[in-house]
Amino acid sequence: MIKEAFKWLVSTPQELRPWWKVIVWWELRRIPVNILVGCVGFISLLGFFLFITLAHELKPGEDAVEPLVLLATPILFNIGYTAGWIAELFLRIVWKERNPVIASALLKLGLSGSLFCALMPSVVWFVIWITRSI
């Protein structure tokens, strides 16, 4: 089931699509991608809090995260997501030949980068906690 969902997420039609169908393709995937990145980000945030606590890094009264960053992250992610279909439309103008894999490649690249950024804080603090524990 997960494999089929991912296949749908990154599959692009082989025929040349008009500009508005490019936007529709991206927007149909916005909510599933937001849910995926949001879930991974939430799990990573829990891990971040756990590992920073276990590393005994926070002093009493200190915050682990700036609350405005937590509010800005989904907004910045969605601006970046919108840049995906803008980039696809731009690349279609620059490369005159038909290339049906542009959308899929851009989505995979953006999704990989977003998941990497979401996981980075918890991975860094996990490594810090492990190295301090040894």
Burial of 34-55, coded b for 16+ CB within 10 Å and e otherwise, reads eebbeebbeebbebbbebbeeb
Supply the pTM of this predicted model. Answer: 0.87
Q: Which amino acid is at 39?
A: C
The model's confidence at residue 95, banded by pLDDT at 50, 70 and 90, is confident
pLDDT digits (tens, 9 = 90+) for 1-50: 888 988 888 888 888 888 999 999 999 999 999 999 999 999 999 999 99
pLDDT digits (tens, 9 = 90+) for 36-49: 999 999 999 999 99
C-alpha dist (Å) from residue 47 to 41, 58, 63, 93 = 10, 15, 15, 43
Q: State both tokens at 31.
A: 């909510």
